[in-house]
Structure 1
Amino acid sequence: MTPTRSVVRPPEVRGAKDAVERLSRPGPHTVLRGDLGMVGLRGVVFAPEEGLGLPAVAFGHDWLQPAERYADLLRHLASWGIVAAAPGSHRGPLPSHAGFAADLRSTLQVCTKARLGVGRISVDDRRTAFAGHGIGGAAALMAAQGHPLVAAVVTIAVAQTHAAVHDAASAVTVPVLHLAAGRDTVTPAAGNAEPVAAAAGGPVWLRTIDKASHTGFLEGTHWSDFVLSGSPNAKTRRITRALVTAFLMHHLLGEDRVDVLVDGKVSGTTVIARR
């Protein structure tokens, strides 16, 4: 029997504004939430209620951040039929980039090897991606380096805090989307996302969300807000949901109805690099 997929194709859209409006809203699926602790790895996983052969993404948190602060994005992806999991490891002040990358790989392996949702959910390991924010974006690139099946990578305000990040970017040949924050004083694009994008070994897009700060992608409050500039912002999360969902649907599922958010002009953002 051919596996059924619960990813619903978005309706036809009329330009970027319409696409952002549609893809920033939750998709049609009821979302289940689980705990990676059941397999010995701290973290969270969100998945549609059922579906076989689904795409999946393993998401890395930023410096000091709990995975809970990305629940808005992870739940949103699951509502559009994409299994989304985030390990909660390496949250200390001196995280291991290599260790974090290994945990992202382990998280993705859990999604692809285990039947989730009492056996009603499975993942196609050829439709998988790594993603992350800040140091989590750097770890996502390192996790993708040499991975035999991963099909895409997304970074958000990537932090070039380790020499291996540049090497990983050069070695990754699958499509990569870098989202940078125009008002980021923690990992400004000029010293982080731009050189990482320039080193890309494959197709790459670098898009700046013009009015975003480094922590605008987060939700809720945390003590680290006192040491990081900016603050959670609903508008930043809204455009991020649309752009990330479109990129993953395009590159993991071959969905062409969302191309306007992959290559086109999107209000409030600027395409810095594309090749």
Structure 2
Amino acid sequence: MGQTHAWFRRSEKLTQVLDKTAIRDASTVILLRDAATNPSVLMGQRGAKAAFMPNKFVFPGGAVDAVDAEVPVARPLPAICADRLCQQADATRAQALVAGAIREVWEETGLILGQPGQWPTPAPEGWGDFAASGHLPSAEGFHFIFRAITPPGRPRRFDARFFLVEAENAIGDLDDFSRAEDELSHLQWIPISQARQFNLPFITEVVLAEVMGLIEQGLPPASVPFFNNSRDVSEFLRIA
């Protein structure tokens, strides 16, 4: 296992150096608050100098790191979500996608998706502060709801999996972002009915429509939409 991860790290770093447009795995989290009364989602604004989607309001998320595959997850994904995620990724990569989602929420918002507990081994690079909070990452309440690959021609390309998580699963004050890093500014809970007033990427608008449908229909989704732009011809698929 250690040799596999070491190879993955070297391969990932080499790919990033040689080709900035190589498709990288990414995880995005839609934190949903007050779903039954006034559904709102947590979003923040990317910087004007960001290489990918500058100035856009986005959900917390980002590229998955190789070490994310080594992180212990206290509670795994619900079985149906894990099965769908593993249709497109092996079990190790699926775990990395979940852990990467939790890490990105922590880094970009300061909120903890986890449960109290001690790590069985020292936390890997990038996870020290999360571990120091006294929590283990947890996928409780996670739902895999969307997948999209960035179209060709963009300065960065990602194979992004979107997870919907009700905000009640986050530990701490939902309005306290003081522990967040500076990747996103203007962090706020935005009512979905008002979200289109903000500067959103197209894919975010599509995902928001999906979220509204799921609020009405319930979870888990009957299938997971997949915008496959891995080649020149775009495909719209469903992961059942």
* TM-score w.r.t. length of structure 1: 0.29
Quick one: higher RCO (CA 8 Å, sep 6+), 1 or 2?
Answer: 2
Larger strand share, 1 or 2: 2
